[in-house]
Structure 1
């Protein structure tokens, strides 16, 4: 985006892949590495790389400001005043999610929308495919960690917690901690019937994958006993879509 207007990029998937890789690269990347990453022995990989870099320059550079820099045999994307959601998220994780305030964690959670480079696949580029899979796994784990810490910092039984827990379960449906967090939130609000319904659904889910459901059932029994005096209150939306 520039001045709230989307910047037009060529439709080339490899150009978009190159942009993403350079955005996350901590230092300039050699041309040979970029060719190996994105081209499966084409006729002229360096020529295709030059084309992609020139198109990125046309889209990203501004008068007096070069964002795509090439020096010697390397290429780099200078972010400068640009904000990249993935870069911000990665920096927050490096800083330590457990050290962040609730407001900052809320803002960070808003940066995650779908998979990393959602929908982008590059044919015949196994090295890029491996990198992309690792990044998606990394950012999914970071998203879960952000959600978990938000839930820990929210007041007991807060309405707001439900949406974060549901998202956590969507990302990690077999994470017992997410199920326990949902059951705990329901019990604190006196919604024991909803907790029982979720337990039935979760049991079917775990059994479908031949996973041990006993710890979750035992956790619910302990949660019920601990919150036996909770007053029932309404909750918007289903406990587990």
Structure 2
């Protein structure tokens, strides 16, 4: 079932069992240390986003251990990511973020819409929830976030666990309206989508950042922008993306 009703209840995804030993140690470290380029290349090469190392750590759980918000945001953009996977101790990615006190990652996990609906009440092997873990570790900010959690209402399709064909839906589109450089959501202000002459789009803030250190070249393909640019606002707005962002904000 595709996403049709924004008010439909979000039922936690029953994520499939992991195949341990399929994620290399260097990819575990890449996600944990925030090497977004390496993680991006790994996914673009067709590797399994839910692969796990010998202890059951996936890219997502590794990023949560390291507190790497940008890596978590990038992984959230991938439709077939599973977010309730369990490691050897039964801990989920949310539990790892809570255990380490990474409040920004916890907030990202519970507020980002995804086809794999988060399970905040699942228990690990020690009968602890993510909230219990945060309390035990003394992370008051994370504890407060988890006590007030309100998950986005986005139901997963019935065949999500095994589907291989991308599901075209408004909800999937929402997850793609982000700048590919900073991975922040596009908006109508400092994150407004701008179209470079190469065809790629980046947000106004990223264009300004590139201009502050030299000429404007695309951070994705490295081609130099052909138009004369003095400030970020001189780069044309991507009105296709801009219109969708405006619609989402209504």
* Greater Cα radius of gyration, structure 1 or 2: 1
Report the structure, 1 or 2, having the larger helix content: 1
Instruction: Give the structure, 1 or 2, with the largest relative contact order (CA under 8 Å, sep 6 or more).
Output: 2
TM-score scaled by structure 2? 0.29
TM-score norm. by structure 1 comes to 0.30
